[in-house]
């Protein structure tokens, strides 16, 4: 199997090399047949890598420990669900996932453009296959997922317990889909610049692919944040970690691109800027991939030090230098067709939005790479933390939220003062009302940035609400539709506009969650004996009783021992919820701790118990007690008892080990030490998740394919334009 896997990867590499050559030859000599052979190479690559992916998946599911990746990232006690996802817990497996997704999305892009952008596609195919060749080469020469050991070990090390979370199945594939999707707008931008075809057709294609990558990467980031929030070891939903930042940067740049490409589409302006943005977004996506894999920056998400750094640096250098060369050498076709008519126009608002988004990206880039920059400058690595990021990102984020409310109410080209006064009245009143409420009704006046954000959010809600109301009223007047039908047809006929507005509202809601939860969360680290209570943010939390379970892990992650506490939560004497935080202990596959000690000698993980509501999240986590040292005497005694029964055989010994572990756990429950707890009360966290869902719903509406202009509408415009033509 391993030999077949290695051979399949070599075939994949040869296919990419052939495809690149065929597509370029076809483009240079006008040979459609060679271009089509290149295009088919993309589909073939997807088939070949699907075979490779399936081979490795089968090895994981079958516990084939002859494969080094399986032995390092799975074990007999790893549940099937996590064995299926364990592949991307390793450097090699995740690289295979990366290039497999790249091949799938590339195939989709090549298929969707089969009858479009005839001159551009051959170069785009070459670039996509170039990425395929790069990553396949890494798998063939640097990090093969099909490496083997003979004789095969009888068991593996097991998947890192921190990765045993249902999100493991979906978060990495979504994040990688986002990263790999970014190569598509990059490839088509390179093709368009080489062939000097930065026209309306390219804009259509680039915008759609950029939106898809924005959507995928956004969902991937959200799933990661949700996972980090539920797992104590990851440090909350956002920790300004290098790898988190690396995913955010291309997302921000593509957000800027999605706005500024509209200026190019409508006014023929900002062509150099747009080409630069789309190329930069993809380069940042590869930079993010590099950060995860090279181990150059310390991150809890990274795979650690590896030999992949230099190939990635070469790839990034080629992308940066090539992009600069293309933009500079094609500046004649990238010249703007118009100038900005007025500083008070939607174009100007979009430009400001771009400046802010790029500024935000620069701040994050600087903070992320500061350890390297400081090492080069001073010889010692310095790290910037959350306060540093907050100092610069909060004002920029505030301005962005405000702009997302201003943009929808001003027209393209030029706004008049009279109209502006009318359109800004309601949003300004809403913001003023929120300001008053902040100092009277809402308990947020202690934080000026939060008050400012809430006012901006009120402004956005009012401006977008006003837009929906007026659009709906106009639609009803012209079509005579029923109210719900008018709303649906209004959105359906203007998906980009109203999808975008929904995204703005979603972001505003998301920021409310972020601001409130990061400013007004209350956290306590406390040791509570059975029956003791403490109050966190007005909520009384009582340690009711300890719990212990062996083998029957309630979260099905394969933990052999689970210790926890039942916590009762009340507010003003009223029952709110019962929480059950647990610490899970995993086995030590090496067996070095003795027959009983090894059952719990591996890593331990604390899982948050969460009560989520629209107003507040109440959570409790138990810091995994170090039972290896606390119960050392009992475990040593149990080990001796099991080893004394050697004559009874391995099965009897294993049974006895579990019985003794149960006895130790029972003793722990009868005489529990004070539970080390992290208790928190965080307001409006659910708004963050709901806001993100609204953002993605808006994105889906905006990306949903329209049937072009409908037949009836097209006929109407054709008639109008024909009338003009007759007069001209």
Partner 1 sequence: MTVVLGILAITVLLVFIIWFVSGPLRHPASAAPTQNSQQRALEAARDAKYAEIRDTELDYRTGKLSEEDFRTLDRQLRAEAVEILRSLDKLR
Task: Based on the shown chain and the rule CB under 8 A, indicate whether residue 7 belongs to the binding site for partner 1.
Answer: yes
Task: Check if the beta carbon of residue 333 is closer than 8 Å to that of residue 352.
Answer: no
Cα–chain-centroid distance for residue 287?
Answer: 15
In the chain, DSSP finds a helix count (H) and a strand count (E) of 24, 10
Q: How far is CA 385 from the centre of its chain?
A: 21
Tell me: does residue 235 bind partner 1 (CB under 8 A): no
Regarding 704 and contact with partner 1 (CB under 8 A), the answer is no
Q: Which residue has the tokens 């988004």?
A: 357
The answer to whether residue 494 forms part of the interface with partner 1 (CB under 8 A) is yes
Roughly what angle, to the nearest 10 degrees, separates helices 346-378 and 386-406? Answer: 170
- If one asks whether residue 8 binds partner 1 (CB under 8 A), the answer comes out as yes
Pick from 24, 284, 409, 453 the residue near partner 1 by CB under 8 A.
409
Of the candidate residues 84, 137, 197, 534, the single one contacting partner 1 (CB under 8 A): 197
Q: How far is the CB of 262 from partner 1 (least distance, A)?
A: 10
Q: Which of residues 40-69 bind partner 1 (CB under 8 A)?
A: 40-41, 43-44, 47-48, 51
Min separation Cβ 342 and partner 1, Å = 11
User: Candidates 13-21, 225-233, 249-257, 270-278 — which segment interacts with partner 1 by CB under 8 A?
Assistant: 13-21
3-class secondary structure for 499-510?
A: HHHHHHHHHHHH
Residues 6+ apart with CB under 8 A from 512: 453, 454, 457, 684, 687, 691
470 binds partner 1 (CB under 8 A): yes
The region of 60-68, 198-206, 305-313, 653-661 touching partner 1 under the rule CB under 8 A is: 198-206
Closer to partner 1 by Cβ: residue 422 or 637: 422
146 vs 370, beta carbon nearer partner 1: 146
Contact between 413 and 470 (Cβ < 8 Å): no
Which of 208, 301, 413, 540 binds partner 1 (CB under 8 A)? It is 413
Yes or no: say if 568 and 543 are a contact pair by the CB < 8 Å rule: no
Half-sphere exposure of 336 (CA within 13 A, CB side): 14
> Please, what is the minimum distance in Å from the beta carbon of residue 329 to partner 1?
21
Q: How far does Cα 23 stand from its chain's mean position?
A: 33
Q: If you write DSSP's letter for every residue of 183-249 in order, what string do you get?
A: HHHHHHHHHHHHTT--SHHHHHHHHHHHHHHHHHHHHHHHHHHHHHHHBGGG-SS----HHHHHHHH
How far apart are the C-alpha atoms of 70 and 160, rounded to whole Å?
Answer: 12
Q: Is position 724 an interface residue for partner 1 (rule: CB under 8 A)?
A: yes
Interaction between residue 203 and partner 1 (CB under 8 A): yes
Whether the Cβ atoms of residue 135 and residue 102 lie closer than 8 Å to each other:
yes
Selected from 75, 90, 423, 518, the binder of partner 1 by CB under 8 A is 423
Alpha helices in 86-165 (DSSP H): 91-112, 120-137
For residue 670, the tally of other CB atoms under 10 A from its CB is 9
Supply the minimum distance, in Å, between the C-beta of residue 657 and partner 1.
36
Which of residues 463 and 657 has its CB atom nearest to partner 1 in the complex? Answer: 463
Span of 97-105, 226-234, 491-499, 513-521 interacting with partner 1 by CB under 8 A? 491-499
Per-residue DSSP letter, 612? E
Taking CB under 8 A as the criterion, the residue among 29, 30, 150, 200 binding partner 1 is: 200
Among 34, 214, 227, 689, binds partner 1 (CB under 8 A): 34
Q: Of 9, 15, 308, 638, which lies in the binding site for partner 1, with binding defined by CB under 8 A?
A: 15
Query: Least distance to partner 1 from the beta carbon of 364, Å?
Result: 33
Say whether residue 204 binds partner 1 (CB under 8 A).
yes
**Interaction of residue 410 with partner 1, rule CB under 8 A:** yes
Q: Does 487 bind partner 1 (CB under 8 A)?
A: no
Closest distance of CB 119 from partner 1, Å: 6
Q: Which of 310, 324, 355, 721 binds partner 1 (CB under 8 A)?
A: 721
Does residue 311 touch partner 1 according to CB under 8 A?
A: no
Q: How far is CA 98 from CA 95, 174, 423, 651, in A?
A: 5, 10, 47, 42
Is residue 719 at the binding interface for partner 1, with CB under 8 A as the rule?
no
> Of residues 29, 30, 33, 712, which one binds partner 1 by CB under 8 A?
33
Which of these segments, 36-44, 152-160, 282-290, 383-391, binds partner 1 (CB under 8 A)? 36-44
Among 91-99, 113-121, 572-580, 662-670, which window interacts with partner 1 (CB under 8 A)?
Answer: 113-121
- The residue (of 94 and 264) whose beta carbon lies closer to partner 1 is 264
Q: Which long-range contacts (CB under 8 A, 24 or more apart) does 466-471 make?
A: 466/409, 466/423, 466/426, 466/427, 467/408, 467/409, 467/501, 468/498, 468/501, 471/498
Q: Could you give the C-alpha distances from 336 to 414, 516, 555, in angstroms and in order?
A: 18, 43, 58
Question: Does 554 participate in binding partner 1 (rule CB under 8 A)?
Answer: no
We find the least distance from the C-beta atom of residue 346 to partner 1, in angstroms, to be: 9
Smallest distance from partner 1 to CB 37, Å: 5
* Residues pairing with 523 in the sheet: 680
Of 474 and 674, nearer to partner 1 (C-beta) is 474
- Considering only residues 114, 335, 485, 637, which one is a binding residue for partner 1 as defined by CB under 8 A? 114
287: CB partners within 8 A, 6+ apart = 246, 249, 316
Task: Write down the residue that tokens 């099905």 correspond to.
Answer: 556
CA dist., res. 291 & res. 620, Å (int): 32
Q: How far is the CB of 132 from partner 1 (least distance, A)?
A: 14
Q: Candidates 6-14, 362-370, 551-559, 656-664 — which segment interacts with partner 1 by CB under 8 A?
A: 6-14
**Part in contact with partner 1 (CB under 8 A); list of ranges 75-83, 406-414, 579-587, 683-691:** 406-414
- To partner 1, the closest distance from the beta carbon of 61 in angstroms equals 18
Closest-CA residue to 403 (of 342, 355, 361, 364): 355
How many Å apart are CA 103 and CA 108, to the nearest integer? Answer: 9
Looking at 61, 155, 166, 265, which residue binds partner 1 (CB under 8 A)?
Answer: 265
Q: 702, 230, 195: which is closest to 491 by C-alpha?
A: 702
> Which of 29, 30, 115, 633 is close enough to bind partner 1 by CB under 8 A?
115
Residue 530 DSSP class = T
| Dist. CA 244–CA 313, nearest whole Å | 20
Give the residues across from 38 on adjacent strands.
none
* Shortest distance in whole angstroms from residue 518 CB to partner 1: 35
Structural tokens at position 380: 């010692």
Binding site for partner 1 (CB under 8 A): 1, 3-4, 7-8, 11, 15, 18-19, 22, 32-34, 36-37, 40-41, 43-44, 47-48, 51, 114-119, 197, 199-201, 203-204, 265-266, 409-416, 418-419, 422-423, 467, 470-471, 474, 478, 493-494, 497, 708-709, 713-714, 717, 720-721, 724-725, 728
């Amino acid at each position: 199997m391993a030999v077949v896997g290695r051979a399949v990867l070599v075939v994949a590499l040869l296919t990419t090399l052939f495809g690149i050559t065929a597509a370029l030859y076809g483009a240079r000599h006008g040979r459609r047949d060679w271009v089509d052979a290149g295009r088919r190479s993309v589909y073939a690559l997807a088939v070949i890598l699907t075979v490779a992916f399936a081979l490795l998946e089968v090895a994981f599911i079958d516990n084939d420990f002859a494969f080094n990746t399986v032995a390092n990232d799975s074990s007999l006690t790893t549940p099937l669900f996590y064995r299926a996802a364990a592949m991307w817990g390793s450097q090699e497996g995740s690289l295979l996932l990366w290039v497999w997704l790249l091949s799938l999305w590339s195939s989709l892009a090549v298929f969707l453009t089969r009858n479009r952008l005839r001159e551009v596609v051959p170069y785009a195919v070459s670039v996509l296959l170039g990425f395929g060749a790069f990553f396949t080469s890494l798998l063939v020469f640097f990090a093969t997922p099909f490496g083997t050991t003979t004789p095969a070990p009888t068991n593996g090390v097991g998947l890192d317990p921190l990765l045993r979370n249902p999100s493991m199945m979906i978060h990495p594939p979504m994040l990688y889909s986002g990263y790999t999707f970014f190569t598509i707008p990059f490839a088509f931008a390179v093709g368009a610049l080489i062939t000097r075809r930065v026209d309306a057709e390219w804009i259509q294609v680039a915008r759609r692919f950029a939106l898809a990558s924005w959507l995928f990467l956004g969902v991937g980031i959200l799933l990661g944040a949700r996972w980090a929030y539920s797992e104590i070891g990851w440090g909350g939903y956002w920790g300004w970690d290098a790898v988190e930042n690396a995913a955010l940067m291309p997302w921000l740049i593509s957000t800027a691109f999605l706005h500024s490409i509209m200026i190019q589409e409508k006014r023929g302006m900002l062509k150099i800027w747009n080409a630069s943005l789309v190329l930069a977004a993809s380069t940042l996506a590869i930079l993010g991939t590099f950060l995860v894999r090279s181990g150059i920056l310390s991150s809890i998400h990274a795979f650690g030090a590896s030999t992949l750094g230099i190939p990635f640096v070469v790839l990034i250098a080629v992308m940066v230098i090539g992009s600069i060369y293309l933009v500079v050498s094609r500046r004649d076709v990238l010249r703007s067709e118009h100038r900005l008519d007025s500083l008070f126009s939607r174009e100007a608002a979009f430009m400001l939005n771009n400046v802010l988004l790029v500024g935000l990206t620069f701040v994050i880039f600087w903070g992320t790479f500061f350890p390297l920059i400081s090492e080069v400058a001073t010889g010692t690595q310095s790290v910037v933390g959350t306060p540093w990021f907050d100092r610069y990102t909060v004002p920029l984020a505030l301005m962005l939220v405000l702009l997302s409310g201003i943009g929808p109410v001003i027209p393209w080209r030029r706004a008049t003062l009279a109209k502006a006064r009318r359109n800004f009245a309601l949003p300004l009143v809403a913001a003023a009302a929120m300001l008053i409420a902040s100092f009277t009704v809402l308990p947020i006046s202690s934080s000026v940035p939060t008050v400012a954000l809430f006012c901006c959010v009120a402004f956005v809600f009012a401006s977008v609400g006003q837009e929906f109301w007026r659009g709906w009223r106009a639609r009803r007047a012209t079509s005579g539709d029923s109210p719900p039908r008018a709303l649906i047809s209004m959105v359906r006929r203007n998906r980009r506009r109203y999808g975008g507005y929904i995204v703005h509202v979603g972001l505003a809601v998301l920021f409310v969650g972020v601001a409130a939860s990061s400013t007004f969360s209350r956290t306590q680290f406390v040791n509570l004996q059975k029956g003791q209570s403490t109050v966190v943010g007005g909520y009384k939390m009582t340690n009711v009783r300890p719990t212990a379970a062996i083998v029957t892990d309630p979260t099905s992650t394969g933990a052999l021992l689970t210790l926890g506490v039942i916590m009762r939560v009340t507010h003003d004497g009223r029952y709110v919820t019962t929480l059950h935080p647990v610490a899970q202990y995993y086995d030590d596959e090496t067996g070095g701790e003795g027959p009983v000690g090894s059952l719990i000698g591996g890593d331990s993980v604390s899982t948050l118990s969460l009560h989520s509501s629209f107003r507040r999240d109440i959570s409790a986590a138990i810091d995994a007690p170090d039972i290896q040292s606390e119960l050392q005497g009992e475990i040593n005694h149990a080990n001796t008892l099991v080893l004394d029964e050697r004559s009874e055989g391995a099965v009897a010994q294993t049974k006895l080990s579990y019985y003794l572990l149960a006895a130790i756990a029972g003793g722990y429950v009868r005489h529990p030490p004070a539970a080390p707890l992290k208790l928190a009360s965080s307001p409006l966290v659910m708004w963050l998740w709901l806001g993100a869902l609204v953002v993605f719903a808006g994105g889906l509406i905006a990306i949903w394919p329209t049937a072009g202009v409908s037949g009836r509408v097209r006929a109407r415009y054709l008639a109008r334009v024909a009338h003009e033509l007759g007069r001209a």
